[in-house]
């Protein structure tokens, strides 16, 4: 199979881009012709950013799993859909062909149905990176329920919050998960999350680590037993639920600058179209190639470029359970060598961490199968870009620097591998259908360039098919967060530069959101977690440049509790609290105890100053005259870690 909408030259990119802007309905309507619909649309797109209300393919009926599975049964039933590499390289890998995956998804869809899951119900999935995770996701979509996958690193408390917010009635989990040398007791975390929960009716537990678990009578069920019943009855097929184009497909929680994480909602048709289109074009996927995206399915990257993008394109998607540095720092290269991987899509933080191990781990690894390299999640520094290019791609693989967000569903700005030009540490050009604009604080377009470069806040002028539809249960929050800062624009929260060729470089968040190892964390969230610790009076959290993580977390804490005779113990107490409230990914790298925080007379913390101190730029703290007590700044600066 080839993809009629795969762009093949820079010239073609330009003409397609123009078409997509002049006539979005014509452009996306003709791409949509290449998918399987139960009923076609009445209207391609209808939108306003005021409410906001965005509808793509209104009136159309479909099920995304028919597009990912059923339509490939005949043409490529025996081709691998998912290849799974276990955490332990000694354990046998697994391959699920399109036929097998279809069968397993149908069977598990029966299991869900048998347990009462109906269209529109929320199914929370908290599993390690095993094929059953992808099966659970697709089975949920098959019966029209809404999945909400939670990354295995989140704590019981964060899961409890998400279950509550989504009013989830079902959970699919594992006894435990392997990640490198660690064994994470997932079911036991779920048990803690369910203390006091009033909505969850059933928990289906898949066996992976054989960690002892407590199974609650009437609530908890084993995956294997449930599947066996279905298999014995020969229930290998289930009719897919007919979904409206705009029915929600999934919820995925992500951090913002205020409050608790919000449930980003994506809908069926637009998300399917755009993840497929961007997968085929950005990575220039060719039939039969092996695509290896190293993300976890708990993040949007895994949803879009392990599951839905590749499978809807009939591709072979490689899924890896472990981590890049275990049993050693050559693991990615072993996997590339073993499966002859053609496309490798990973995060700058992984590249930087592997760089630290030198070239040894790359020796005697055959990487000649690689054709395309990709990065995602944070800005890639030039050093990491060149290392990736030279030592992994051997200077013959184009690198795609893909900028996007949980809210965008798919890639918005990126070069197309080998088709449009690359520029180290620049995401370069928008995908067709995407209209970026740089604005100043007031929302006016920035046109003035300094040495050919304009700089501003990155917004998008019109909707692409997989734009966020709402934040679950709170549409106003969606409006305020993304559509109210600047009238008639979607605001990304990122700052960007633009050069004379129209290339974009993403410089990072301009709001109070941190990007730690490619993971999004709100400073307010970390502060709330720290403040829950007894003895903490107040705290302020900022980011600072970190060699491997991109950004590190720096916390200033006012503390008057016990254990203060031993500051290092108090620091550990606080880290424990953060781990409990959010999860280990949100642990501050540095905790500085302070007597006060720099506040304005109106009581606002001046984060600008704290950021500068954390960055080590103590010479240029700027104007501190509006502070209530300018003296605290000296104290904080002198106590800097
Ligand atoms: C934020 C979104 C998109 C999937 C992974 C992260 C940053 C993402 C890039 C890139 C520079 C990037 C942005 C964005 N980001 N990709 N190629 N270059 N920055 O999804 O957790 O929703 O985070 O990640 O700051 O806003 P996310």
How much is the pLDDT for 1? 63
Closest CA to 104 of 139, 54, 140: 139
Residue 40 Cα to ligand 1 midpoint, Å, equals 33
Give the burial string for 203-241 (b: 16+ CB within 10 Å, else e): bbbbbbbebebeeeeeebbebeebbeebeeeebeebebb
Q: What is d(CA 133, CA 152) in angstroms, rounded to the nearest whole number?
A: 11
Q: What is d(CA 571, CA 592) in angstroms, rounded to the nearest whole number?
A: 9
Mutate to test the pocket of ligand 1, among 299, 303, 378 (most ligand atoms within 8 A of CB): 378
Q: What is d(CA 432, CA 19) in angstroms, rounded to the nearest whole number?
A: 8
Find out whether 278 and 532 touch, Cβ atoms under 8 Å: no
Q: Is the pTM of this model over 0.90?
A: yes
Alpha-carbon distances of 501 from 10, 429, 497, 498, rounded to whole Å: 13, 9, 12, 8
Residue 379 Cα to ligand 1 midpoint, Å, equals 8
Residue 404 Cα to ligand 1 midpoint, Å, equals 5
Mutate to test the pocket of ligand 1, among 405, 497, 514, 550 (most ligand atoms within 8 A of CB): 405
Q: What is d(CA 389, CA 386) in angstroms, rounded to the nearest whole number?
A: 5
Q: Which of ligand 1's atoms lies nearest the C-alpha of 413? A: 17
User: Which protein residue's CA is at the shortest distance from atom 6 of ligand 1?
Assistant: 377
Q: Which of ligand 1's atoms lies nearest the C-alpha of 304? A: 4
Residue 106 Cα to ligand 1 midpoint, Å, equals 34
Residue 509 Cα to ligand 1 midpoint, Å, equals 9
Q: What is d(CA 464, CA 338) in angstroms, rounded to the nearest whole number?
A: 37
Find out whether 365 and 359 touch, Cβ atoms under 8 Å: no
Q: Which of ligand 1's atoms lies nearest the C-alpha of 508? A: 25
- Contact residues of ligand 1, CB 6 A cut-off: 254, 300-301, 376-379, 401-406, 427, 492-494, 506, 508-509, 515, 520
Mutate to test the pocket of ligand 1, among 153, 402, 493, 520 (most ligand atoms within 8 A of CB): 520
Which value, in Å, is the radius of gyration of the alpha carbons in the chain?
A: 24
Domain 89-244 matches domain 517-638 at the CATH topology level: no
134 phi-psi bin (left φ>0, alpha ψ -120 to 50, beta other): alpha
Peptide bond into 589 cis (omega under 30): no
User: Which protein residue's CA is at the shortest distance from atom 10 of ligand 1?
Assistant: 403
Residue 506 Cα to ligand 1 midpoint, Å, equals 9
Which residues share a beta bridge with 184? 177
Q: Which of ligand 1's atoms lies nearest the C-alpha of 401? A: 17
Mutate to test the pocket of ligand 1, among 262, 266, 293, 403 (most ligand atoms within 8 A of CB): 403
Residue 442 Cα to ligand 1 midpoint, Å, equals 24
Q: Which of ligand 1's atoms lies nearest the C-alpha of 411? A: 3
The low-confidence residues of the chain, meaning pLDDT below 70, are 1
Was domain 517-638 assigned CATH 3.30.300.30? yes
User: Which protein residue's CA is at the shortest distance from atom 14 of ligand 1?
Assistant: 405
Give the largest Cα separation in the chain, rounded: 76
Q: What is d(CA 632, CA 173) in angstroms, rounded to the nearest whole number?
A: 48
Residues 6 or more apart whose Cβ sits within 8 Å of residue 269: 32, 41, 56, 57, 60, 62, 245, 246, 465
Residue 508 Cα to ligand 1 midpoint, Å, equals 8
Residue 139 Cα to ligand 1 midpoint, Å, equals 28
Q: Which of ligand 1's atoms lies nearest the C-alpha of 375? A: 17
Find out whether 459 and 489 touch, Cβ atoms under 8 Å: yes
- 3-class SS shares of the chain: helix, strand, coil, % to 5: 30, 25, 40
User: Which protein residue's CA is at the shortest distance from atom 8 of ligand 1?
Assistant: 377
Q: What is d(CA 625, CA 609) in angstroms, rounded to the nearest whole number?
A: 12
Residue 220 Cα to ligand 1 midpoint, Å, equals 37
Residue 388 Cα to ligand 1 midpoint, Å, equals 19
DSSP 180: T
How much is the pLDDT for 110? 98
Residue 522 Cα to ligand 1 midpoint, Å, equals 14
Which CATH number does 89-244 carry? 3.40.50.980
User: Which protein residue's CA is at the shortest distance from atom 1 of ligand 1?
Assistant: 405
Q: Which of ligand 1's atoms lies nearest the C-alpha of 492? A: 26
User: Which protein residue's CA is at the shortest distance from atom 21 of ligand 1?
Assistant: 520
Q: What is d(CA 516, CA 502) in angstroms, rounded to the nearest whole number?
A: 28
Residue 363 Cα to ligand 1 midpoint, Å, equals 31
φ/ψ of 519, rounded to 5, equals -100, 135
How much is the pLDDT for 618? 85
Residue 333 Cα to ligand 1 midpoint, Å, equals 25
User: Which protein residue's CA is at the shortest distance from atom 12 of ligand 1?
Assistant: 378
Q: What is d(CA 625, CA 105) in angstroms, rounded to the nearest whole number?
A: 63
**Domain chopping of the chain, boundaries:** 89-244, 517-638
Residue 56 Cα to ligand 1 midpoint, Å, equals 24
Tell me: the pLDDT tens digits for 468-508?
A: 999 999 999 999 999 999 999 999 999 999 999 999 999 99
């Amino acid at each position: 199979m080839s993809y009629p909408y795969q762009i093949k030259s820079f010239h073609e990119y330009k003409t397609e881009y123009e078409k997509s802007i002049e006539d979005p309905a014509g452009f996306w309507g003709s791409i949509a012709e290449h998918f399987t619909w139960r009923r076609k649309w009445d209207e391609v797109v209808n939108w306003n950013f005021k409410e906001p209300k965005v509808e793509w393919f209104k009136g159309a009926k479909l099920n995304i799993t028919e597009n990912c599975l059923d339509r490939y049964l005949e043409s490529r039933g025996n081709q691998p859909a998912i290849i799974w590499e276990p955490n332990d390289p000694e354990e046998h890998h697994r391959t699920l062909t399109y036929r097998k995956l279809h069968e397993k998804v149908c069977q598990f869809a029966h299991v869900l149905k048998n347990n009462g899951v109906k269209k529109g119900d929320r199914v929370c999935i908290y599993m390690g990176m095993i094929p059953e995770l992808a099966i659970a996701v697709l089975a949920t979509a098959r019966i029209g329920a809404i999945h909400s996958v939670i990354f295995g690193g989140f704590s019981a408390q964060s899961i409890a919050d998400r279950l509550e917010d989504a009013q989830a009635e079902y959970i699919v989990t594992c006894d435990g998960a392997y990640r490198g040398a660690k064994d994470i007791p997932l079911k036991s975390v779920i048990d803690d999350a369910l203390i006091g929960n009033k909505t969850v009716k059933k928990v289906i537990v898949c066996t992976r680590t054989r960690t002892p678990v407590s199974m609650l009578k009437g609530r908890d069920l084993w995956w294997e037993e449930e599947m066996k019943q279905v298999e014995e009855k020969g229930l290998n097929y289930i009719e897919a639920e007919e979904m409206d184009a705009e029915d929600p497909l999934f919820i995925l929680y992500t951090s913002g600058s205020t409050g608790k994480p919000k449930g980003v909602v994506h809908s069926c048709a637009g998300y399917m179209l755009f993840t497929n289109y961007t997968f085929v074009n950005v990575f220039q996927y060719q039939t039969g190639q092996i695509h290896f995206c190293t993300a976890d399915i708990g993040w949007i990257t895994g949803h879009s470029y392990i599951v839905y993008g590749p499978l809807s394109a009939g591709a072979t998607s490689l899924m890896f359970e472990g981590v890049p540095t275990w049993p050693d720092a050559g693991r990615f290269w072993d996997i590339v060598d073993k499966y002859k991987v053609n496309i490798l899509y990973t995060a700058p933080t992984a590249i930087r961490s592997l760089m630290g191990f030198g070239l040894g781990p790359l020796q005697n690894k055959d990487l000649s199968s690689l054709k395309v390299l990709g990065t995602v999640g944070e800005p890639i520094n030039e050093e990491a870009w060149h290392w990736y290019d030279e030592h992994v791609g051997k200077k013959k693989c184009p690198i795609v620097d893909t900028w996007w967000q949980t809210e965008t569903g798919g890639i918005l700005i990126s070069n197309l591998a080998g088709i449009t030009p690359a520029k180290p540490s620049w995401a370069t050009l928008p995908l067709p259908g995407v209209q970026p604009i740089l604005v100043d604080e007031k929302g006016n377009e920035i046109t003035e360039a300094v040495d050919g470069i304009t700089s501003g806040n990155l917004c998008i002028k019109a909707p692409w098919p997989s734009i966020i539809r709402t934040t679950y249960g709170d549409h106003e929050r969606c409006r305020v967060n993304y559509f109210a800062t600047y009238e008639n624009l979607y605001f990304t929260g990122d700052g960007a530069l633009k050069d004379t060729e129209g290339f974009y470089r993403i410089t990072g968040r301009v709001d109070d959101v941190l990007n730690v190892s490619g993971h999004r964390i709100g400073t307010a969230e970390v502060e709330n977690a720290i403040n829950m610790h007894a003895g903490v009076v107040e705290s302020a959290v900022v980011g600072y440049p970190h060699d491997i993580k991109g950004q590190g977390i720096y916390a200033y804490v006012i503390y008057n509790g016990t254990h203060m005779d031993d500051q290092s113990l108090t620091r550990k107490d606080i880290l424990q609290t953060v781990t409990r409230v959010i999860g280990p990914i949100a642990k501050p790298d540095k905790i500085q105890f302070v007597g006060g925080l720099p506040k304005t007379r109106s009581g606002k913390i001046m984060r600008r100053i704290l950021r500068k101190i954390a960055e080590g730029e103590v010479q240029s703290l700027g104007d501190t005259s509006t502070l209530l007590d300018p003296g605290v700044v000296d104290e904080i600066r002198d106590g800097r870690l």
